[in-house]
Structure 1
Amino acid sequence: MKLDLLAQLNADRAARRAVILITDTETGEQRLIREDDIAGSDRADLYRGLIRSGRSRPLKQEEGGGFANVLVPPAKLVLIGAVHISQVLAPMAGMLGYDVTIVDPRTAFATMERFPQVDLVAEWPDAALPDVGVDRWTAFCALTHDPKIDDPGLLHALEKGCFYIGALGSKKTHARRVERLTGAGIADADIARIHAPIGLAIGAQSPAEIAVSIMAQITAALRLGEG
């Protein structure tokens, strides 16, 4: 690999930007397809699909040939609320390869006894989240039912362009949330990005079942681009 290409690749990886390294298997020539440049490329659908899959593979002749090495940042899951659902959702996401962070200023809930082996931040979201590194490769869930805790987190997630944003609560609860976010100057199109009520509609009742519905919806957003 040429040094200038390697330097660009390392810079993109350090900045948590997805890239595809395409190698011509006959000549050895290589080129980078950066996520930010896909929209203007000649095979935008192909490249988006590769990044969503996160899998490297040979390219067919009709796809341009060669080998595509897909390099995507590790996905993050940020949970606002050290609640019962989070106790199931955090280890489930960890098994799927997510880096999980839980933020909750309520120290009675945010304890290592309840959340062992999880990055736990017992601070208010507006103070904690700038250091968490929320970005395009982050799934974000607001789970406390408390607007003072959830709303600042949702505003941060919308600003950072998370690939998935979900919020716990009924349709009535979300209607009040929409009113608050609208009053804060958030555009309707941005508010529409919030999955609420959170999770797929599978009739989930228990915290464990709700966690399954949330993780399935996050997976669809990541792999299928649904959201």
Structure 2
Amino acid sequence: MKRDVLEALNKERHARRAAIVVTNLDNGSSYLLRQEDEVKGPLGEAVTEALRTGKSCNIEVEGHALFLNVHVPSPRLVLVGAVHITQALAPMARIAGFPVEIIDPRTAFATKERFPDGNLQACWPQEALARMPLDDYTALAALTHDPKIDDMPLQAALAANCFYVGALGSRKTHARRVERFLTAGISQEQIARIHAPIGLDITAANPSEIAVAILAQIVQAFRTRGIKAGK
């Protein structure tokens, strides 16, 4: 791999953006494709699938043998609210391969005793997210039921195009949230990306079951997400 390609790849990886190194196996030349690059035709279709699955592969395009070396960020999960659901969801998400960050300004909830293994931040979401910006390989679930805590990170997740955005609450609660977000200038199309009520409908009846429903929905969203790489 040429030095300029490697340097460009490292820059994308540092910024938590997906990229593919395309190597021509016939002559050894290579170049970098970033996730926002528009690629058309058969190569574009292969790039789209490779970015979606995260799997490197050999392909043939117009008589040329190519190797697509895929580099995608690890998906992560940000949980707003150190609540009972979070206590069940955080360890399950880690088992599923999602690094977890928990945010809650309420120090009575955000304690090491309740979350001994968590990346726990006992501060307001705007402070935490300033240190760890959201991106499209991040899932965010707002679980406090408190608009003063939940609204800001939900809006930030929509702006950052997080692959999953979910919010705890009833349909009535979400209807009030929609009114607030519309007043704040957020489009109906953006708001429609919020999974609310949160989680797959498995008739969950307690915090642990709700956690299962949320994690299943997050995995589903990640595995079926759309990557803009051309058609």
| TM-score normalised according to structure 1 size | 0.92
Pairwise mapping of residues 163-182 of structure 1 onto structure 2 (< 5 A)? 163-182=163-182
Shift of 1:127: 2.2
Pairwise mapping of residues 55-204 of structure 1 onto structure 2 (< 5 A)? 55-59=55-59, 65-204=65-204
Q: 8 Å contact 2:26–2:64 — kept in the other structure?
A: no
Shift of 1:32: 1.7
The CA deviation string for residues 175-198 of structure 1, in whole angstroms up to 9 with x for no partner, is: 111011111111111111111111
SS at match of 2:150: helix
Shift of 1:136: 1.4
Q: Percent identity?
A: 53
| TM-score normalised according to structure 2 size | 0.91
Q: Which amino acid aligns with 1:126?
A: Q
C-alpha distance 63-152 of structure 1, shift in aligned 2 (>3 A): farther
Structure (1 or 2) with the greater helix fraction: 1
Q: Which amino acid aligns with 1:47?
A: V
Number of equivalent positions: 225
Shift of 1:64: 6.1
C-alpha distance 44-171 of structure 1, shift in aligned 2 (>3 A): farther
The CA deviation string for residues 16-46 of structure 1, in whole angstroms up to 9 with x for no partner, is: 1101112223322222221010x34333333
C-alpha distance 58-40 of structure 1, shift in aligned 2 (>3 A): closer
Q: Which amino acid aligns with 1:87?
A: Q
Q: List runs of 5+ in structure 2 lacking aligned partners.
A: 227-231
List structure 1 runs of 4+ shifted beyond 6 angstroms: none
Q: Distance in 2 between matches of 1:85 and 1:190?
A: 26
Higher relative contact order (CA 8 A, sep 6+): 2
Match of 1:223 in 2: 223
Q: 8 Å contact 2:19–2:33 — kept in the other structure?
A: yes
Bigger shift: residues 101-110 or 21-30: 21-30
For the aligned residue pairs, the C-alpha RMSD in angstroms reads 1.8
Q: List runs of 5+ in structure 1 lacking aligned partners.
A: none
Q: 8 Å contact 2:20–2:69 — kept in the other structure?
A: yes
Q: Distance in 2 between matches of 1:156 and 1:222?
A: 18
SS at match of 1:203: coil
Q: Distance in 2 between matches of 1:125 and 1:64?
A: 49
SS at match of 1:202: coil
Match of 1:33 in 2: 33
